[in-house]
Structure 1
Amino acid sequence: MLIHGDPLSGNCLKVKYTADHLGLRYGWQTVDVSSGGTRTDEFLAVNPMGQVPAVTLDDGRHLAQSNAIIRYLARGSGLLPDDAYLQAKVDELLFWEQYSHEPYVAVCRYQMKYLGKPREEREGWRVERGERALDFMDQQLRSKDWFVGTDCTVADIALLAYTRMADEGGFDVTRRNNIIRWIKRCEEKLAIAARH
Structure 2
Amino acid sequence: MNPSHTSGVLYVVSAPSGAGKTSLVKALLKTDPAIRLSVSHTTRAPRPGETNGRDYHFVSREQFQIMLADGEFLEHAEVYGNFYGTAKGGITHDLNAGHDVLLEIDWQGADQIKLHFPHSASIFILPPSFSALRTRLAGRGQDSDEVIERRLAAAAHDVAHAGAFDYIIVNDDFEHASQDLLAITRSIRLETARQMARHTALFEEFRRI
Larger helix share, 1 or 2: 1
Taking structure 1 as the reference length, the TM-score comes to 0.32
Larger strand share, 1 or 2: 2
Taking structure 2 as the reference length, the TM-score comes to 0.30
Q: Which has the higher contact order (CA 8 A, sep 6+)?
A: 2
Larger of the two Rg values belongs to structure: 2
